[in-house]
Structures are given as C-alpha cells and as structure tokens.
Amino acid sequence: MKKNSQKVAMELVYGVHPVRELLAQKKRKIYDVLTLVNEPKLWEQIEPLLPKYPYAIHRLSRPALSERIGTTDHQGIAVLAEPFPYRKKFFDPKKEQFLVMLDGIQDVRNLGAIIRSAYCTGADGVILMQRQGAALNGAALKASAGLAERMNIYMAISPAVALAELREAGYNVYVAALSKDANAHTIEYKRPLCLVIGSEGTGVSPVALKTGTIVTLPQKSTDVSYNASVAAGILLSLIAFKSE
C-alpha cells in the first residue's frame, strides 16, 4: 500500500455496484483500488469511472484479495476510500418530506437492504444511530447495491435525540410495531413524515412508541413476524404512494 506521511482514515468498499456508485457519485476520494491479476469481467464498468488524480491499483490473486478484504463476496473489485460522508445538518421538512429512521437495526444486511428500499421508494433521507445500531460498513454498502452513496444519511446520537429533532422540525412520526388497532393499510399518512423501523429482536425503543403513531402490517399469525428489511420495504412502498 502507499505510504502516507499523515495517517488517513479509510474505509473498504467492495463489490461492483458499491464501487461503481461510489465512483459515479464522486462524494469521496479513493486511495487504492484492489482487483484481480486477471481483471474481472465487470472491470469495464469500473475503469471509465476511475478518477484522474493519483491512486494505486493493486492486482491480487483471488485468494489474496479475499483474505485482504475479509470476504469472498467482492466480485473481484474493492477500493479504499474516505469515510462515508454523513449529512451534518438535520433534515428540513420543507425540502426532505419523507424519511426513515433505523432504531437499533443490528444486521448489516438488513441495514443495507432498508437503505436500498428507501432509495427505491423515493425517501429523501435515512437516520442511523451511533449507538446500538449496525455499522454502515462494506457489507451494508454491498447489501444496499451501492445506493447508500446516493442517499442523504444522518447519524444521530440516540433514538431519543433523533426523535426530539424530528419533533422540533415538525415531522409526523410513524412507528412500525405490533398492535391490533393500527393497520398500516388504513392509516392516513401526512407529510412531512418519518417511518421508524426497530431492531430485529426487540423492535423499536420505548421512547419511539411514546412519540409516534404505531403502524402494523397485518399478518396471519402473531407468533412470527416479518424480517425487518422486508417489513421496511413494504411499509416504505405503502407510505410512499399513500402520502404523495
């Protein structure tokens, strides 16, 4: 790897879609490109997007690349880049009217999948937690198909702080939780709004239950529930078209 006179924070991003989106969005600088000795078939999608400024290309065998990245799920391409550019200011309800808040999601694949659904349903932003939440790492970026690079993502200290910011800004808060009297299909959604999705095991935090309107997806049995990312995808799609 290149030697730097000053230590630089870097993140590893891997997979064709995440790397392609990172390069296309041009929001963060890259330092190194890791690929195979024999260029992968999809290299032609990456090469035209590579920046003009100096960076290093490292060509490795597949086993060496997998060992370097820590997974075989890399499709023969990875980059070392600047850390993800989180949004610094909270959202403006006049400009960003449709948000989703992840309250304790633990699985990075669920995190990435929800961000992907948020983008596909036209959400204007995502709120993540610094505490008790999955990291937006290479695996999460891969699960988002790189679409996290297109999203406005805000990192809140905690659910309580995020909900206070939402209330102060004037957002209507809808909380995904189980309730017999909160059918998500019959509720009237009013923008600006934020949908809160809770953790896979314990659901949303108590403060969220007290803050927003509960919405529940009907299901045949109460002894099981939807996967968090599946429930989020259904609710985001429902809300997107019921609140236009």
pTM for the model: 0.92
Contact 217, 197 (CB under 8 A): no
Tell whether 58 and 159 lie within a shared domain: no
Q: Around 104, how many Cα atoms within 13 Å sit in the side-chain half-sphere?
A: 14
CA–CA separation, 115 vs 131, rounded Å? Answer: 18
- Provide the strand spans (E) within the chain: 11-14, 30-36, 56-60, 77-81, 98-103, 125-129, 153-156, 172-176, 193-198, 213-215
Containing structural domain, residue 120? 98-242
Tell whether 184 and 73 lie within a shared domain: no
Using DSSP bridges, classify how beta strands 193-198 and 172-176 pair: parallel, antiparallel or unpaired.
Answer: parallel
Which residue type does 187 have? I
Q: Which residues face 56 on adjacent strands?
A: 32
Give Cβ neighbours of residue 150 (< 8 Å, ≥ 6 apart).
21, 25, 119
Give the pLDDT of the chain (244 residues) as one tens digit per residue: 444 445 678 899 999 999 999 999 999 999 999 999 988 888 888 999 999 999 999 999 999 999 999 999 999 999 999 999 999 999 999 999 999 999 989 999 999 999 999 999 999 999 999 987 899 999 999 999 999 999 999 999 999 999 999 999 999 999 998 877 789 999 999 999 999 999 887 888 989 989 999 999 987 766 677 888 999 999 999 999 988 6
Tell whether 163 and 48 lie within a shared domain: no
192 located within any domain: yes
pLDDT at 223: 66
Number of domains in the chain: 2
CA–CA separation, 122 vs 87, rounded Å? Answer: 18
1 located within any domain: no
Three-class secondary structure of residue 213 per DSSP: strand
Tell whether 61 and 106 lie within a shared domain: no
Tell whether 26 and 120 lie within a shared domain: no
pLDDT at 231: 92
CA–CA separation, 141 vs 139, rounded Å? Answer: 5
Tell whether 160 and 216 lie within a shared domain: yes
149 located within any domain: yes
pLDDT at 244: 67
Tell whether 28 and 118 lie within a shared domain: no
pLDDT at 218: 86
Tell whether 126 and 206 lie within a shared domain: yes
Radius of gyration from C-alpha coordinates of the chain: 20
pLDDT at 1: 44
